[in-house]
Structure 1
Amino acid sequence: MKTPQKDAYTLILEAIDMGTYKPGDRLVESDLADQFGVSRTPIREALQRLETQSLLTRDGRSLIVSSLDHNQLAELYVVRAELEALAANLAARHATDEEIRVLQDMVEDDRKLMGDPTRLARANRRFHKQIHLASHNRFLVQQLGLVHQSMALMATTSLAAVGRDQDALDEHQAIVSAIAERDPETAGSALKAHISKAFVTRLKLDSGEVESIV
């Protein structure tokens, strides 16, 4: 079966999410059309949509990738912690045995990526997405999707901090164990604590208090 082609919006959003375009980078319609091999009309429409979602900011006549100030970052982490905790709580109630097995396999496989924050950050997004899906609540999944879109505006990953990869994967294991034990309260608390620790690490990275491995 032929894989459906991604639209211009998805292509640009993924490029921002993967760090190809970082906060402050200017996005030029003609350049994007050439890069992705599509016409300028869908690119223009995609840029307008991303601007409406505040992922792009207008700078004169140009559009640049938005950045998050300290207050916006704090607000985002508050919302993310609450929603992610709810997803883990619901996953402990509703995840199938197969979904739990996938989560466990992810934790084990991701340990092979330690020391490579870029690849581990991608794996981290997949892990959290799998928990969202395991909640079996479409409206929660939708809201978390919006939160993670805004997470793409972060120029660095907290997993780049020295030692954070080991701690994060240990935290992932604790979350999966609680889900597997069908313990909603512990699963939710473990995921909320995980997000809190990631936020603290990010703040320390930004202030230069902790060292980055990249």
Structure 2
Amino acid sequence: MAAPKPGSTDAYSMILEAIDVGTYRPGDRLVESELADRFGVSRTPVREALQRLETQSLLTRDGRSLIVASLDHNQTAELYVVRGELEGLAARLAARHATEEEVRVLREMVEADNKLVNDPSALSRSNRRFHKQIHLSSHNRYLVQQLDLLYRSMALMATTSLAAEGRGELAQAEHDKIVSMIEARDEDGADEALRSHISVAFVTRLKQEAARREDEG
């Protein structure tokens, strides 16, 4: 397969980022001309970027329109299973390979994020940075690549589990434990702490979805 052209790569990155930060949410329609105007590029690279995103199942067809895809219950469950496995491995490898500087950054992230527990949107962004730092601290490029792909799909979730009442404080306590295990170079403990963190997040999301269905009913 030919490598994407530079212009289409830029357009792809910008559209992906817009989905990732919630500018475009699941179900939103993406219009080629509007995207070209928003990002200041021509329509050709936008068209190529949209085709690439559709191939990756981040966009789907609604008649002739392309919309941001959404995840059903089974897809969400499958994603969390894989996420728990990969993130647990990342924490295990971080406990083994992270430099002292990387561990210090993780600790400082937790301390800074404690101030954001009442701001789910800001905490969600910081949460992604925290997890990304763990991924990088694993010093395994192939694992980082797979987690990057996984997090693209996570952008298709309509809400963050951190918006649930009390979840911010609990998530921060879980982050603190994960970093403590990495600081102690406890590979099993880091793996278990991060897997548990993902499990609690999944339970929270399931409760959010149940409440949403009840409201809609």
Match of 1:110 in 2: 113
- The alignment's TM-score, normalised by the length of structure 1, stands at 0.94
Structure 1 position 59 matched with structure 2 position 62? yes
Structure 1 spans left out of the alignment, 5+ residues:
210-214
Match of 2:184 in 1: 181
CA deviations 1:65-87 (Å, max 9, x no partner) are 00000000000000000000000
- Give the whole-Å Cα distance in 1 for the aligned partners of 2:32 and 2:209: 31
Q: Output the aligned Cα RMSD.
A: 1.2
Q: How does 1:1-214 map to 2 (within 5 A)?
A: 7-208=10-211
- Give the whole-Å Cα distance in 2 for the aligned partners of 1:109 and 1:83: 25
Deviation at 1:169, TM superposition (A): 0.4
CA deviations 1:94-150 (Å, max 9, x no partner) are 000000000000000001111110110000000000000000000000000000000
Deviation at 1:58, TM superposition (A): 1.2
Deviation at 1:31, TM superposition (A): 0.3
Structure 2 spans left out of the alignment, 5+ residues:
1-6, 213-217
- Give the whole-Å Cα distance in 2 for the aligned partners of 1:83 and 1:184: 14
* Count of aligned residue pairs for this structure pair: 205
Question: Could you say what secondary structure the match of 1:7 adopts?
Answer: helix
| One-letter amino acid of the counterpart of residue 32, structure 2 | E
Deviation at 1:21, TM superposition (A): 0.6
Give the 4+ runs in structure 1 shifted more than 6 A.
Answer: none
Question: Could you say what secondary structure the match of 2:70 adopts?
Answer: coil
- Give the whole-Å Cα distance in 1 for the aligned partners of 2:47 and 2:145: 25
Question: Could you say what secondary structure the match of 1:64 adopts?
Answer: strand
Deviation at 1:152, TM superposition (A): 0.2
Question: Could you say what secondary structure the match of 2:118 adopts?
Answer: coil
Deviation at 1:181, TM superposition (A): 0.3
CA deviations 1:18-67 (Å, max 9, x no partner) are 11111111000000000111111111111011001000001121100000
Match of 2:3 in 1: none
Structure (1 or 2) with the greater helix fraction? 2
Question: Could you say what secondary structure the match of 1:67 adopts?
Answer: coil
